[in-house]
Amino acid sequence: MWIERKVLAQEIPAAAALDTRQLCEALAALGFPVDGVAALEGTEALDVDITANRGDAMSHRGMARELAAKLQQPLAQIAAGDMVEGAPLVAVRLEAEACPIYATAVLELGEGVTPEAAQSFLRALEASPKRLPAVDASNELLLRYGHPTHAFDADAIRGEVSVRWARAGESLVTLDGVTRTLTAQDLLIADEAGPIALAGVMGGDGTKVTEATRRVLLESAWFEPKVVRATARRHSLHTDASHRFGRGADPAMAKVARDLLVARLQSWCQARLLGAWTAGAVPAPAAPVELDLALLARVAGEAVSLEAAQEALTRLGCGVAAGGQRLRVTPPTWRHDLAIAEDLAEEVLRLRGYEHIPSVLPPMEGPPEHLAPGYLQRQRVARRLAQLGFHQTVTYGFISPEADALFAGPDNPVAGRTLANPLGYEYSVLRASLLPSLKATAEQNLRQGSRQIRLFEVAPVYRSAATGPREQVALAAVWGGTLGGEDYLSPARPVQEADLAGLARDLELPGLPPIHRLAEGLFGFEVDLAALPQALDRIIPGFRPFSRFPSVERDLSLLVDLGQSYAALHQAMAAALPGDSLLELRCVDVFRHKSLPEGQQAWLLRMRFQADRTLVGEEVDGWVASALAAAESLGAKLRA
Amino acid sequence: MDQLLPPEIVEAGQTFPAALAACGDLDALLRLKGAYIGREASHATRLMELLKTAPKEQKRELGAAINGLKQQWEEGLKARQTELEAAKRNRSALAATWDPALPPPQPPRGALHPLNRLMDRLVDVFRPLGFHVEEGPEVETEAHNFDGLNIPEDHPAKASSDTFYLAAHPELLLRTHTSPVQVRTLLRVAPDLAARGGIRFLAPGRVYRKDEIDPTHSPMFHQVEGMLVGHGIGMQHLKGTLEYALRALFGPDTEIRLRPSYFPFVEPGCEVDVSCPLCGATGCRVCKGSGWVEILGAGLIHPNVLTYAGIDPNEWSGWAFGMGVERMAMMLSQTPDLRLFFENDQRFLKAMGGLD
């Protein structure tokens, strides 16, 4: 909210002595940080941030009250005359508890416009003056004292006025020209012809004050915050009035604001008061709240004396009775946020200043807990992938139905994962897989000229279930583009599916996940992270003895059918070799060429042997011959 | 002449130059040599057999063709061998007389996402104080996301204009903060809280709010929540912990400042400022000349939050804080646009992320 400095100083004269920086610091220390300062209309206005619990602070008077308590300086008196009330000129019936008090007056307007000073004040606060005194005075009062009022064209009102709940089917054209269909939860001001205002939110168009208005009926009431909030939300109609009533206005201000409004109209346009009266009364204050000194000391971090606490709360307008080690506190009528002892403790601390809170590390009361294995595993996998040259991505959890369909299984219907109110169609589905997002990210990087794409993401994916989407953390990696060729030693080649298989093996995935071809030269896989091995129980594995004798390496070049299963061949050959001496058996090269017999390929199998003695050639030759025989039994032939 | 030769030999002849060029090293070249002119089962031996069995009147012409092919292959192989040997010698020479001025081969280098990196760092900072990590689902119930946090039933954040809801499950939403992890954790530990000696944890994670995507807004972002419950916990413990943690993050000279503020789930509530880590609190663009930067919101846990979880607020008390990860990352890195964190351009990730 904009707070104009000169008007603030009229409410608390001591503020005039503060420079802008001091004023901003004082407000921030009270919980009202200043977001900006604007020079407007030859004065300075502060953009003060007011939290949702402090409806009472949403005015110059409210800010001044806070500063007065903090600075221990007096507030200016409110210049309200003692208005003599009389018999109602129009009957006002309060039919709902949500409106306990309704102060009003009827005036006959005279000649005159809104004074320039008031217009300038409104402009400085970005509220445009209407040059209709009744309207401008109401707005000026609201910004200055925080109490919303309203002026009706008295001659447009038919018969008696009532504050009541709307009836189903009723409607009202509000001041903004919109026809509002009302519900039984909307509180209304109505005359005998129907609704004339949405209580605490906005007046009706049919009774608004215009240049032709001769007589006005003023409203200065108090409405239940919950009711006003609900109506404002239901009609998407958030006004200065609904903000203040919705956060809790001061019921004791109803009559005062009416008096101030009457006085302004009398002064601004020679209005003649025809009568003033009030229906209902200020509701009884809420029960006092007890503040125990032990609780205050616990919250504050140090003992605070009864007197100090009492003094601080009194400065804020509370009624305070001390007894033993506790205070009985009756909050002022404008504070609706002081409901429990902690609220009061905060007030005491706030006035003392949070800078006085001591700084203490909390003592340990029990042993610290370990990090969860699942969490550690995610950290480990992410670090490993980063070390391998992969970049971790963070992409949105919701994607378009088309993108989702690329990798969603048939048992994972999209309906169970669709948002009711997405930001847009392209963000409407909780994704079944990370791959569509990674594919899009990879393609975007390729368009940006990346030679090689190495991306991964660890994030939840969603599976439709009867009780709602189930989450499981997935790991997906994509790899594409050109490998190597960036220096004089590394030849360039395209990334292939086999590279992803190698990556999967490096991550110790149990078995090879499906490798998806996402685009030309771009591949990816995705696994449920729970499938990855958890961190080992042992810090380091148990020792396994190894030989210090030299190892022997032999290659076998085999011609095999193109359809030959490598796993089967590997298994057969390994079975024929002495397990205790075989260090390694693996295919290190594959040759496919027209020069080979039709339908065949050549595999180069490398065997490494080691034992607790020096191996002799003949012995190894024998093993290799056995392995060859095993291979031949599967149809392989030794290649010349 | 080609009509005299079998089609596969003709094709082998045609693909020879490409196959030769594809040989990247001497081993590959040897294999190609074996296939074309090897002594057994090569194209050359097949051609010689063909010549033997050819009718006499064709032998002369066929012999010339075969010799032409063989000569072409032999010369090609020899030339390529010379090239490859030269390349190998070149590499050996480069290896033997290394020129340090030449750009060396670079091991691959990836990166953790800067947001994850920052969250990990926060966890590291709080670990010595006995904090562990708690996590919760992103699809939440209203009860965990709002009700258990003392957020009034008619709070505007519950509106569909602010919070994403599931179409098929109107009671489910995408969590709007990491605070539901508080509710879940407190509910879980409440029965044996005394045996545990209270609880203290961080809850890093992704959250969702219905904000249009622009340089300072994103419908998905990250928060780190911190919470501690014990006996006699007050604002002094919040201040002490945050002072420790923020000094660990930003340096030992860092000062912190608490200002009153309001969040429904804490009382008292506060905003926490840190002396500007970029200018050393002398005043810069980031701190708008004030020397202070707002870094997180915090407060003492509201008694209603403890009561909801089945914890007696007369015995136990605690504090909680919540921090926006993107906001902090942008402040620290001076990244001008929030969207960069979700675009995942490899250049950005490499520059902003790291391995630790």
Q: What is the 3-state secondary structure (H, E, C) of B215-265?
A: CCECCEEEEEEEEEEECCCCHHHHHHHHHHHHHHHHCCCCCEEEEEECCCC
Give contacts of B248 with chain A, Cβ < 8 Å: none
Strand partners, A453: A480
**What local confidence, expressed as pLDDT, does residue B9 receive?**
79
Q: Report chain A residues whose CB lies below 8 A from the CB of B231.
A: 365
Q: What is the pTM of this model?
A: 0.86
How far is the alpha carbon of A465 from chain B, nearest alpha carbon, in Å? 10
Q: Are A297 and A267 contained in the same domain?
A: no
For A518, the 3-state DSSP assignment is strand
Contact B310/B320 with Cβ under 8 angstroms?
no
pLDDT higher than threshold 80 for residue A244: yes
pLDDT at B356 over 70: no
Domain assignment present for residue A392? The answer is yes
Of A31, A516, A455, the C-alpha closest to B349 is A455
Q: What is the pLDDT of residue B69?
A: 84
Residue A532 scores a pLDDT above 90: no
Report the distance separating Cα A399 and Cα A418, nearest Å.
10
HSE-up of A508 (CA within 13 Å, CB side)? 10
Instruction: Determine which of B45, B119, B139, B231 to mutate to test the interface with A (most A C-beta atoms within 10 Å).
Output: B139
Residue A504 within a domain: yes
- CATH number for the domain spanning A622: value is 3.30.70.380
Among A300, A345, A395, select the one facing B344 at the smallest CB separation: A395
Closest-CA residue of chain B to A447:
B345
A70 vs B55 pLDDT, higher one: A70
Let me know whether A28 and A158 are in one domain: no
Contact between chains at B35 and A595 (C-beta distance less than 8 A): yes
Per CB-CB distance under 8 Å, the chain B contacts of A597 are 41
A419/B165 touch (CB, cutoff 8 Å), yes or no: yes
For residue A445, list chain B residues with Cβ-Cβ distance below 8 A: 344-346
Written as six digits, the tokens of B42 are: 């090569």
Q: Is the CB of residue A560 less than 8 Å from the CB of residue A603? A: yes
- Both A143 and A264 in one domain: the answer is yes
Provide the pLDDT for residue B3.
67
pLDDT, residue B319, reads 98
- With beta carbons less than 8 A apart as the criterion, state whether B70 and B37 touch: yes
Instruction: Kindly state whether residues A557 and A514 are assigned to the same domain.
Output: no
Residues A160 and A276 in one domain: yes
**According to the model, what pLDDT value does residue B298 have?**
98
- pLDDT at residue B55, as a whole number: 83
Angle at A619 between CA A615 and CA A621, to 5 degrees: 115
Three-state DSSP class for residue A3: strand
The shortest CB-CB distance from B166 to any of A420, A488, A591 is to A420
| Statement: residue B209 has pLDDT above 70 | yes
B300 vs A contacts (CB less than 8 Å)? 299, 342
DSSP secondary structure string, B133-167? E----SEEEHHHHTGGGT--TT-GGGSTTTS-BBS
Cβ neighbours, 10 Å, residue A577: 17
Contact of A349 with chain B, judged by CB distance below 8 Å, is answered with: yes
Give the 3-state secondary structure of residue A614: coil
User: Is A215 inside any structural domain?
Assistant: yes
- Whether residues A465 and A393 fall in one domain: yes
DSSP assignments along A107-176, one per residue: EE--S----HHHHHHHHHTT----S-HHHHHHHHHHHHH----EEEEGGG--S-EEEEEPPTT-EEEBTT
For residues A306 and A290, give the distance between their C-alpha atoms in angstroms, rounded to a whole number. 13
Which residues lie across from A48 on neighbouring strands? A34
Residues of B in Cβ contact (< 8 Å) with A297:
234
Which of A329-333, A541-545, A617-621 is the least confident region?
A541-545
Of A541 and A573, more confident:
A573
Judged by DSSP in three states, A330 sits in strand
Q: Is residue A82 part of a domain?
A: no
Domain co-membership, A351 together with A441:
no
pLDDT at site B1: 53
CA B197 → CA A225, A590, B288, B316, distances in Å?
41, 62, 43, 10
Facing A375 at nearest CB: one of B135, B237, B240: B135
Interval B155-179: pLDDT, tens = 888 888 899 999 999 999 999 999 9
DSSP string, B1-38: -GGGS-HHHHHHHHHHHHHHHH--SHHHHHHHHHHHH-
A369·B201 Cβ contact <8 A? yes
Chain B positions touching A449 (Cβ under 8 A) are none
Q: Please identify, among A470, A500, A531, the residue that sits at the C-terminal boundary of a domain.
A: A531
φ/ψ of residue A375, rounded to 5: -65, -45
Phi, psi of B29 (to 5 degrees): -65, -40
CA distances from A296 to B38, B228, B233, B287, B317 (A): 96, 19, 11, 33, 13
Strand, coil or helix: what is A495?
coil
- Of B35, B38, B106, Cβ closest to residue A487: B106
Domain boundary among A327, A355, A383: A355
> B127: which DSSP letter?
G
User: Distance between CA A99 and CA A106 in Å, rounded?
Assistant: 20
Q: Is residue A540 part of a domain?
A: no
CA distance A481 to A496: 9
pLDDT tens-digit readout, A268-280: 999 999 999 999 9
What is the rounded CA–CA span in Å between residue A454 and residue B285? 36
Q: Is the pLDDT assigned to residue B2 strictly greater than 70? A: no
Residue closest to B200 by CA, chosen among B243, B231, B177: B231
Q: Which residues pair with A2 in a beta bridge?
A: A47
Cα distances from B252 to residues A345, A400, B244, B246, in angstroms, run 31, 47, 9, 9
**Percent of chain A clearing pLDDT 70 (strictly above):** 99
Query: Which residue among B168, B200, B235 places its CB closest to the CB of A415?
Result: B168
Could B104 and A349 be called an inter-chain contact, meaning their C-beta atoms sit closer than 8 Å? no
Comparing alpha-carbon positions, the chain A residue that sits nearest to B9 is A595
Which of B31, B236, B345 minimises the CB distance to A360? B236
Mean pLDDT of A286-307: 95
A107 shares contact with chain B (CB less than 8 Å)? no
What's the confidence (pLDDT) of residue A510? 86
**Which chain B residues contact residue A185 at CB under 8 A?**
none
Q: Are strands A92-94 and A161-165 parallel, antiparallel or unpaired?
A: parallel
For the cut 80, the answer to whether the pLDDT of residue B239 exceeds it is yes
What's the mean per-residue pLDDT of chain A? 93
Residues of B in contact with A359 (CB under 8 A): 236, 239-240, 243
- pLDDT at position B98 is 77
Q: What residues form DSSP beta bridges with A470?
A: A463
Token representation of residue A107? 């005036």
Q: How far is CA A622 from CA A93, A578, B140, in A?
A: 112, 11, 66
Q: Do B230 and A445 touch (CB under 8 A)?
A: no
Residue among A29, A360, A423 minimizing CB distance to B219: A423
The reply to whether residue B12 touches residue A33, judged by beta carbons under 8 angstroms, is no
A538 falls within a domain: no
Among A22, A40, A71, which residue terminates a domain?
A71
Instruction: Name the minimum distance, in Å, from the CA of A622 to any CA of chain B.
Output: 25
* Contacts for B275 with CB less than 8 Å, ≥ 6 apart: B253, B254, B255, B256, B257, B281, B291, B292, B293
Pair B167, A468: CB distance under 8 Å: no
Residue A582 forms part of a structural domain: yes
* Domain match, A474 and A522 both: yes
A194 assigned to some structural domain: yes
Smallest CA-to-CA distance from B237 within B152, B304, B314, B299 is with: B299
Q: Contact A527/A565 with Cβ under 8 angstroms?
A: no
For A12-16, A96-100, A416-420, B65-69, which range has the lowest pLDDT when averaged over its residues?
B65-69
For residues A34 and A137, membership in a common domain is answered with no
- Distance CA(B293)–CA(B98), nearest Å, equals 51
CATH number at residue A427: 3.30.930.10
Q: Which of A394, A592, A594 to mutate to test the interface with B (most CBs of B within 10 A)?
A: A394
**HSE on the CB side for A575, CA within 13 Å?**
10
Q: Supply the pLDDT for residue A535.
A: 66
The A43-48 sheet, strands edge to edge? A2-4, A43-48, A34-40
Question: Which three-class secondary structure state does DSSP give residue B112?
Answer: strand
> Looking at CA atoms only, how far is residue B58 from chain A in angstroms?
25
> Taking CB atoms and an 8 Å limit, are B234 and A366 in contact across chains?
no
Least confident of A3-7, A101-105, A116-120, B61-65: B61-65
Q: Is residue A234 within 8 Å of residue A185, measured between CB atoms?
A: yes
Q: Pick the closest to residue A602 from A612, A587, A585 (CA basis).
A: A587
A589 shares a domain with A467: no
Residue A547 scores a pLDDT above 80: yes
**B-chain residues within 8 Å CB-CB of A417?**
166
- Compute the distance between CA of residue A322 and CA of residue A375 in angstroms, rounded to an integer: 52
CA A87-A91-A96 angle, to 5 degrees, is 120
Q: A145 and A173: one domain?
A: yes
- Domain count for chain A, please give it: 5
Residue A537, pLDDT score: 63
User: Which among A114, A106, A116 has a CA at the least distance from the CA of A134?
Assistant: A114
Mean pLDDT of A166-189: 95
Task: Kindly state the average pLDDT of the residues A205-216.
Answer: 95
Q: Is the ipTM of this complex over 0.85?
A: yes
Query: How close is the nearest chain A Cα to the Cα of B134, in Å?
Result: 8
Nearest CA distance, A144 vs chain B (angstrom): 23
Report CA-CA distances (Å) from A342 to A337, A406, B226, B319.
Answer: 11, 54, 20, 13
Q: Do A362 and B111 touch (CB under 8 A)?
A: no
Q: Distance of alpha carbon A356 from its chain centroid, rounded?
A: 31
User: Cα(A257)–Cα(A265) distance, rounded to whole angstroms?
Assistant: 12
Average pLDDT rounded to a whole number, residues A17-41: 91
Q: Using a pLDDT cut of 70, give the percent of chain B over it.
A: 98
Chain segment B97-142, per-residue pLDDT in tens = 778 888 888 888 899 999 999 999 999 999 999 999 999 999 999 9
The region of weakest confidence among A135-149, A525-539, B248-262 is A525-539
A255 and A309 fall within a common domain: no
Residue A35's domain comprises 2-71
Mutate to test the interface with B, among A228, A237, A391, A462 (most CBs of B within 10 A): A391
In angstroms, the CA B175 to CA A468 distance is 14
User: What is the average pLDDT across A137-151?
Assistant: 96
Contact check, Cβ <8 Å, A357/B231: no
